[in-house]
């Protein structure tokens, strides 16, 4: 990592220079770009930038009224920030000139570095070396830089939004700085934004910390393709998200980008899952798409988190009510019950034959005396303590302004007066744009593009609220474990060049308190015979060989051996099968293990992610593991509460609870096993992947039957 | 059903009168409504309706220039259509006046009938009786009626869209006639629309048939809360969807609305699943939300179905490319590979260091000479036979008209020239509305609100195309079955008042060729002892009692009995347990059954839906059935191809294929069992629910171990 990052004071200073420079030098502006519609100068003018602007271009003569200099050295005073958009071969020279001129911050617009080819990567590495050797920080390369409405500044040559909104954007593209006004839904956009580009120096986490300190920023939006410093991001995000919601989209989660992995945990915990676990850990709200990123960001800037998930629906259309119920149920929200007082007050406005309930079709109540009735109904719902949020479904007619149906103002005003109860609107009709603008102009309520997005947004607002209200997590549990012994086994295996640990893996798990089905290794038929009488049957046999990864595929397993007589026979059969199916495999011995009791099979695993460290996985065990996509993920180390959450997230949890009158499986034993694995991989970062599959969970305990560790 | 429906000529005539009346009478228009902004008269004027309009209102004096009559009888000539919006108590009188005046069609706007209370339901029943007794057809009640841009006519008092688009809407609400222009995305809307309201007479299927015959309608959109004539809908939809896409949303699928059911199949095949199976059967494209209904309708009106699912992406942003890949993969589409010719032609426009591939970041190629380069790149992709569709991701800047970035025109023109290769756009930026309007104005391309919706829409377009290209389904298979015997068993059971059939159910399945694990029933200990020596062990015992629905819950099951000695002991224990846990249960005997071989457990079931008849269910068997939501549904009767599709839709299919080197389960035996159940429930509509669980599938065959039939 960049050495400068550790120096807090210097860092903060650099981001100040990048986001609100008092003066800038633009290096590489062509003659054509000076008056072009697509130009940083055009944008600076549109922003009303008040600082000094020096244009550096050796081939341009000084223009009337413009400060044009042949080189940075010719600029009479030191400037705060250089914006560099030269051809890639000239960039390093310009940056060295910055150092020479005492410029401490630069934005490198130019692309074609690590984003392109080997030569580009080499040039970028030189750039990094420069920032380490000198007092120079770089944003980019391959970026349009920043925009800061609060300082009337942008480095972008593409037009970007400029509104003093309390939203800070961090993206790995200029995309998110250009298009946040999806069709009339004002206010949208941001107050500050940064495109980190290739992030050769200043990175996402550093900007996150910067926004964390900026009073003008209340909500932070992140578009993430990759992160360099995973653990630093987690620490910053966890701290900042307790006061400022962070909404994040992880892009690039498709299978094509997945790295090859050896274990089931590795296959299950793909990049998307690991990022999701990271967001969960840090209290970051995950968006599923660019569209949802935009909606969530706007919603978190508009609404305070609700107290709960009980929704009241008021509508002009019965059909819309039914659509709303479907959306509410699908998002895991519930329909509120009106209090008696609400019910009585509503009843006065409706005909007798119309049943009053939630959802509420308000047509009959309000069509007569709209301006009195519509706000009265809405206020009754907002004042009802059993209602946590209100869905307003409204037909936005293109009627003249004097028409009676101007509910937007009522919605806006009442939403402002009851800020703890979000009012989420959905509308249909020819004046949707007009209605939307009217509702949203105060920033107290929003019109959502679909009922489903209103419902899922509300669910995420409520979850964020619950998380903020919750106590900070307790200290991590510390289980009794023989850390030293496990370390020695790992060290020995590494020395021997072993990567797949089978019996060593079992020993390591035992060192961490793992409850294994009793096992011994027979290295010869003699050893087997000598232990035959001490075993409690039935037992099973498993081949021990560093060359056999999938034991069952190689005939290296024998189950249900009932007596000493068939033990030897099975042993011989196993060795013969392995010799035939995995010729040349070095067999170190045969593991003899007591058959596990009947129970529910789960799998517990871990995979070391290069960015975030170990990600724990819990899922159904046995053959179902690989087929049914039913897993829970958390980054290690986990608390006991997180272990319980993991179990609760599985569909398989219903099987653990016992179906058709079965006794429930012993969940505390699963929690214990999860915490043991969490501690094990945290203590021993050499472990790349770990699979316990199955862990057999009975009514009373849980037994590890098979496991392996990959270094 | 309405007797008139059978009379094709009369029906067609009535819908003609409703959709394009030459003259109308409005019954129940108040004085205030005559010049109000919200009035049918205002809307008729806006539509430019050319027919005669007679206003019926006894209390209004004749107004200057308006035809106002005290009653329908006073209208000098018979009119085509009456629009009735009186108070509910006066509606029947007005309809009788219609009959008297020779009016053959009426739209009843008034609400408060079957949608409200018992009195309303009674009034509606009288209305139905009236249509049956006379030559009068009714649309409604509780509707805003119809709109038909091609006849400049609407009956709606709320403002509705009016544009001659080739889209026909059928809805159970006026909602879908008011709001289809979501924010600038022109053209959207419809050419004809009908709100069927309570559908007391004219229903969804009748309007579907009408649109099927209308040349002006190319795409049909349905909003469905409930259907009366399920099988008629299926027949019409299956026929029409081969030439006109039908897009449908089933609203009201949340759990709250589910009826209580006794079997697992019943619980799994909820209303939403049955409708989904119905749509699948009839080639109807299912929308998941009102938002998707709108987008799909517009897309099917804009695009021809593509040849396949290979997508090329061209973008100005690398970040957008990554988002597009995620969306494409999630929707089950694939990234196209450029042909060598395309690759070479593209290479000429890019710098050497930039790798050319799909997705294609076009910035470098087009920024220099936009108007030549942008259309050239797009046309290269459209002309490439390995590319089935193109995603255009475009920044919609708010630049002046003369700026170089007016790609909308290029997109529109080229999309029109290559109609077989859909061009789907996504955009971001401050001029999204303007860009969208420009792209969409010819109806050759669309701008989607999200990449995900572009991708899922394309997937549905492609699937619809594949289905249209496929041969019509083959004739249904006819298996050997003793239909008569099964009918006799059912008749006997009904006579005895039995609802839950256990051993009778096994006999019925055997009559249809079902492969059951050998079984016999012992009605006494003596009977048991006499058969003890003939059995092939291990066997199991199951209590036979009409009073015991869940055998395992009542201790009525004994498994793995290995020899004649333990047989009697188990028998006694079973009876004692049942006596203790289900006191008073009448025990008819104990079923003795050979234990099934080891294999994969699946469940096959059927549930009779009141609308669509029997819905077949296939899922994982055993305890997993109730926990893992992994089912496939089809309406009976099914073809062999449908049976194969059902297996393929399960996640569990991977387990059937064999994981970790296991031999695959014998799928033809599952297909056979599905076809047997399909034929059984089709032959015997008395069967309400049927569960085979588990069907044990081995490498060679499949054995029914347990089953029950509910009448």
The answer for A 206-225 residues in CB contact with B (under 8 A) is 223, 225
Taking only the tens place, the pLDDT of each residue in B343-379 is 999 999 988 877 889 999 888 787 777 788 889 999 9
Predicted confidence band at A263 (pLDDT cuts at 50, 70, 90)?
low
A517/A429: higher pLDDT: A517
- CB-based contact A670:A647 (threshold 8 Å): yes
pLDDT digits (tens, 9 = 90+) for A357-378: 999 988 878 777 778 888 999 9
Q: What is the pLDDT of residues A66-96, one digit of tens each?
A: 678 888 988 888 899 999 999 899 999 999 9
Do residue A175 and residue B433 have CB atoms under 8 angstroms apart? no
DSSP state of B75: -
Q: How far apart are CA A122 and CA A88, in angstroms?
A: 11
* Nearest-neighbour CA in chain A from B429: distance (Å): 4
Report chain A's C-alpha Rg in angstroms. Answer: 32
Q: Which of the pair, A252 or A220, is modelled with greater confidence?
A: A220
The fraction of chain A above a pLDDT of 90, given in percent, is: 52
* Cα separation, A633 vs A617, whole angstroms: 5
Of the two residues B173 and A354, the one the predictor is more confident about is B173
Closest chain B residue to the Cα of A402, Cα to Cα: B37
Report the residue from B178, B289, B320 with minimal CB separation from A175.
B320
A-chain residue closest to B315, CA distance: A175
Q: Are strands B689-697 and B707-710 parallel, antiparallel or unpaired?
A: antiparallel
> In this predicted model, what pLDDT tens digit does every residue of A275-330 receive, in sequence order?
999 999 999 999 999 889 989 999 999 999 999 999 999 998 888 999 999 999 99
Q: Kindly tell me if the per-residue pLDDT of B301 is higher than 90.
A: yes
For residue A385, the model assigns a pLDDT of 96
Does the structure show a pLDDT above 50 at B290?
Answer: yes
Q: Averaged over B190-201, what is the pLDDT?
A: 94
* Chain mean pLDDT for chain A: 87
Q: pLDDT tens digits for B630-672?
A: 899 999 999 999 999 999 999 888 888 887 667 889 999 999 9
In this prediction, what percent of chain A has a pLDDT beyond 70? 90
Q: Can you tell me the distance from the alpha carbon of A359 to that of A373, in angstroms, rounded to the nearest whole number?
A: 17
Task: Check pLDDT > 70 for residue A496.
Answer: yes
Mutate to test the interface with A, among B185, B223, B430 (most CBs of A within 10 A): B430
Query: Is residue B232's pLDDT more than 70?
Result: yes
- Among residues 594-623 of chain B, which lie with CB inside 8 Å of chain A? 623
Mean pLDDT across A116-140: 94
- Number of CB pairs, chain A paired with chain B, less than 8 A apart: 226
Pick the range with the lowest mean pLDDT from A506-520, A551-565, B509-523. Answer: A551-565
- Give the pLDDT confidence of B125-151 residue by residue, as tens digits: 999 999 999 999 999 999 999 999 999
- What is the per-residue pLDDT across B408-448, written as a single tens digit (0 to 9) for each? 889 999 999 999 999 999 987 777 777 888 888 888 999 99
**What's the CA angle centered on A110, arms A106 and A116, to 5 degrees?**
125
B positions 322-341 inside 8 Å of A (CB) = 322-323, 325-330
* Residues of A in Cβ contact (< 8 Å) with B626: 654, 659-660
ipTM of the complex: 0.86
pLDDT at B1: 35
Nearest residue of B to residue A401 by CA position? B37
* B341 alpha-carbon distance from chain centroid: 43
Structure-token pair, residue B439: 């792209």
| A476 has a pLDDT exceeding 80 | no
Task: For residue A182, give the nearest of B180, B432, B627 by CB distance.
Answer: B432
Predicted pLDDT at A2: 39
CB contact under 8 A, B289 and A553: no
- Closest CB to B116 among A112, A319, A353: A353
Categorize the per-residue pLDDT at B249 as very low, low, confident or very high, splitting at 50, 70 and 90: very high
Interchain contact, B184 vs A184, CB within 8 Å: yes
A residues 249-288 near B, CB within 8 Å?
251-256
Does B379 contact chain A (CB < 8 Å)?
Answer: no
- Residue B257 — pLDDT band, cuts 50, 70, 90? very low
Cβ–Cβ gap B317/A173 under 8 Å: yes
The pLDDT-based confidence of B700 (bands split at 50, 70, 90) is very high
Report chain B residues whose CB lies below 8 A from the CB of A119. 353
Q: What are phi and psi of B270, to 5 degrees?
A: -70, 180
Distance CA A292, CA A646 (A): 25
The pLDDT confidence band at residue B584, using thresholds 50, 70 and 90, is confident
Distance from CA of B572 to the nearest CA of A (A): 22
Mean pLDDT to the nearest integer, A459-487: 86
The answer, yes or no, to whether the previous bond of A457 is cis (omega within 30 of 0) is: no
Q: Can you give the pLDDT at residue B303?
A: 96
- Burial status of residue A550 (CB atoms within 10 A of its CB: 0-12, 13-18, 19 or more): exposed
Are A354 and B116 within 8 A, CB to CB? yes
Instruction: Answer whether A655 sits within 8 Å of B452, measured CB to CB.
Output: no
Please answer yes or no on whether A655 and B627 come within 8 Å at the CB atom: yes
- Cross-strand pairs, A116: none
Give me the sheet containing A519-522, strands edge to edge: A519-522, A589-594, A539-544, A557-561
Best mutation target among B316, B393, B429, B622 (most A Cβ atoms within 10 Å) is B429
User: Could you read off the pLDDT of A45-61 as tens digits, one per residue?
Assistant: 989 999 999 999 877 76
Supply the pLDDT for residue A653.
87
How do residues B383-398 score in pLDDT, each as one tens digit?
Answer: 999 999 999 998 877 6
CB neighbours of residue A705 within 10 Å: 24
Residues 481-540 of A with CB under 8 A from B: none
Cβ–Cβ below 8 Å for B254 and A326: yes
Q: What is the pLDDT of residue A331?
A: 95
A38, A183, A325 member nearest B432 (Cβ): A183
pLDDT of residue A585 exceeding 90: no
Q: pLDDT at position A666, please?
A: 92
Shortest CB distance from B181 goes to which of A322, A430, A452?
A: A430
Question: How far does A318 lie from chain B, in Å, by closest CA?
Answer: 8
Mean pLDDT of A334-359: 91
Question: Which chain A residues have a beta carbon less than 8 Å from that of B452?
Answer: 289, 291
A175 vs B116, B180, B319: nearest CB: B319
| Mean pLDDT confidence for A153-163 | 86
**CA pair distance A375, A349, nearest whole angstrom:** 12
Which of A:67-106 have CB within 8 Å of B? none
What distance in Å separates residue A319's CA from the closest CA in chain B?
A: 6
Closest residue in B to A626 (Cα) is B659
Q: Which residue of B has its CA nearest to A393?
A: B175
Q: Is B217 a residue whose pLDDT tops 60?
A: yes
Instruction: Note whether B179 contacts A429, CB cutoff 8 Å.
Output: yes
Q: Does B550 touch chain A (CB under 8 A)?
A: yes
Residues of chain B with C-beta less than 8 angstroms from the C-beta of A38: 397, 399, 403
Contact B317 A452 (CB under 8 A): no
Q: B-chain residues within 8 Å CB-CB of A662?
A: 623
Both tokens of A372, joined, read 């009195």
Q: What is the pLDDT of residue A63?
A: 59
* Tens digits of residue pLDDT in A666-711: 999 999 999 999 999 999 999 999 999 889 999 999 999 888 899 8
At residue B270, does pLDDT exceed 70?
yes
pLDDT band of residue B189 (cuts 50, 70, 90) is confident
* A270 pLDDT above the threshold of 90: no
CB contact under 8 A, A223 and B430: no
> Does residue B709 have a pLDDT over 80?
yes
Report the residue of chain B nearest A292, measured CA to CA.
Answer: B450
Report residue A251 as tokens: 């892009």
Asked whether residue A248 carries a pLDDT value surpassing 80, the answer given is yes
Determine, for residues B427 and A179 on separate chains, whether the beta-carbon distance falls below 8 Å: yes
| Highest mean pLDDT: which range of A154-158, A669-673, B113-117 | A669-673
User: A264-274 burial string, b = 16+ CB within 10 Å, else e?
Assistant: bbbbbbbbbbb
Tokens of A156: 């972008």
B216 CB-contact burial (10 Å; exposed 0-12 / middle 13-18 / buried 19+): middle
Of the residues B450, B457, B656, B706, the best mutation for testing chain A's interface (the one with the most A CB atoms within 10 Å of its CB) is B450
Yes or no, beta carbons of B112 and A353 under 8 Å apart = yes
User: CA B286 to CA B267: how far, in whole Å?
Assistant: 21
CB distance A329–B398 less than 8 Å?
no
* H or E segment and range at residue A579: helix A564-581
Cβ within 8 Å of A, B 142-201? 158-159, 161, 171-176, 178-184
Q: Which residues pair with A147 in a beta bridge?
A: A154, A193
């Amino acid at each position: 990592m960049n050495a400068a990052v550790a120096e807090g004071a210097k860092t903060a200073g650099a981001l100040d220079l990048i986001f609100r420079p008092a003066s800038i030098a633009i290096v590489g502006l062509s003659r054509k770009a000076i008056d072009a519609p697509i130009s940083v100068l055009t944008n600076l003018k549109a922003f009303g930038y008040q600082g000094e602007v020096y244009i550096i271009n050796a081939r341009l003569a000084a223009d009337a009224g413009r400060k044009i200099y042949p080189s940075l050295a010719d600029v009479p005073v030191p400037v705060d920030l250089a914006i560099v958009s030269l051809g890639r071969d000239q960039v390093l020279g310009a940056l060295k000139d910055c150092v020479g001129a005492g410029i401490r911050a630069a934005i490198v617009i130019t692309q074609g570095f690590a984003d392109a080819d080997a030569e580009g990567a080499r040039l970028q590495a030189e750039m990094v070396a420069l920032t380490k050797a000198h007092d120079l920080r770089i944003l980019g390369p391959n970026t349009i830089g920043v925009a800061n409405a609060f300082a009337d500044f942008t480095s972008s040559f593409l037009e970007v939004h400029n509104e003093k909104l309390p939203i800070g954007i961090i993206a790995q593209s200029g995309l998110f700085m250009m298009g946040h006004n999806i069709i009339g839904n004002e206010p949208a956009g941001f107050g500050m934004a940064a495109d980190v580009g290739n992030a050769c120096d200043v990175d996402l986490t550093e900007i996150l910390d910067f926004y964390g300190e900026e009073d003008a920023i209340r909500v932070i939006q992140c578009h993430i393709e990759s992160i360099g410093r995973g653990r630093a991001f987690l620490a910053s995000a966890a701290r900042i998200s307790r006061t400022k919601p962070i909404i994040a989209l992880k892009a690039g989660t498709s299978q094509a980008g997945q790295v090859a992995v050896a274990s089931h945990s590795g296959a299950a915990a793909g990049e998307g899952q690991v990022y999701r676990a990271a967001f969960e850990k840090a209290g970051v709200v995950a968006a599923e798409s660019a569209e949802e990123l935009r909606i969530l960001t706007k919603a978190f800037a508009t609404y305070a988190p609700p107290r709960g998930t009980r929704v009241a629906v008021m509508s002009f259309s019965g059909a819309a009510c039914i659509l709303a119920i479907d959306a509410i149920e699908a998002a895991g929200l519930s329909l509120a019950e009106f209090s008696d007082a609400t019910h009585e007050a509503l009843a006065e406005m409706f005909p007798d034959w119309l049943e009053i309930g939630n959802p509420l079709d308000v047509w009959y109540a309000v069509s007569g005396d709209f301006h009195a009735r519509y706000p009265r109904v809405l206020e009754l719902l907002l004042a009802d303590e059993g209602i946590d949020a209100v869905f307003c479904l409204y037909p936005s007619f293109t009627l003249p302004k004097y028409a009676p149906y101007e509910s937007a103002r009522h919605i806006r005003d009442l939403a402002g007066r009851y800020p703890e109860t979000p009012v989420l609107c959905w509308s249909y009709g020819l004046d949707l744009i007009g209605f939307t603008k009217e509702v949203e102009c105060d920033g107290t309520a929003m019109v959502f593009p679909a009922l489903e997005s209103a419902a899922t947004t509300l669910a995420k607002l409520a979850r964020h609220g619950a998380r903020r209200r919750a106590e900070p997590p307790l200290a991590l549990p510390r289980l009794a474990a023989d850390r030293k012994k496990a370390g020695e086994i790992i060290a020995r295996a590494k020395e021997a060049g072993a990567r797949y640990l089978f019996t060593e893996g079992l020993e390591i798990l035992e060192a961490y308190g793992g409850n294994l089905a009793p096992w011994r290794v027979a290295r010869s038929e003699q050893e087997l015979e000598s232990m035959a009488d001490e075993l409690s049957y039935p037992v099973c046999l498993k081949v021990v060989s560093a060359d056999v990864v999938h034991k069952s595929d190689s005939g290296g397993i024998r189950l249900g051996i009932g007596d000493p007589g068939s033990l030897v026979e099975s042993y011989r059969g196993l060795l013969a099968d392995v010799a035939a199916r995995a010729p040349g495999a070095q067999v170190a011995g045969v593991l003899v293990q007591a058959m596990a009791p009947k129970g529910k099979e789960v799998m517990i695993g871990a995979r070391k992610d290069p960015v975030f460290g170990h990600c724990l996985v819990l899922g159904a065990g046995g053959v179902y593991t690989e087929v049914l996509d039913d897993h829970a993920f958390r980054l290690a180390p986990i608390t006991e509460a997180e272990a319980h959450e993991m179990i609760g997230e599985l569909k398989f949890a219903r099987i653990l609870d016992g179906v058709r009158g079965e006794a429930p499986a012993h969940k505390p034993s699963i929690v214990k096993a999860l915490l043991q694995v969490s501690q094990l991989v945290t203590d021993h970062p050499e472990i790349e992947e770990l699979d316990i599959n199955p862990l057999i969970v009975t009514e009373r305990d849980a037994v590890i039957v098979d496991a392996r560790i990959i270094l």
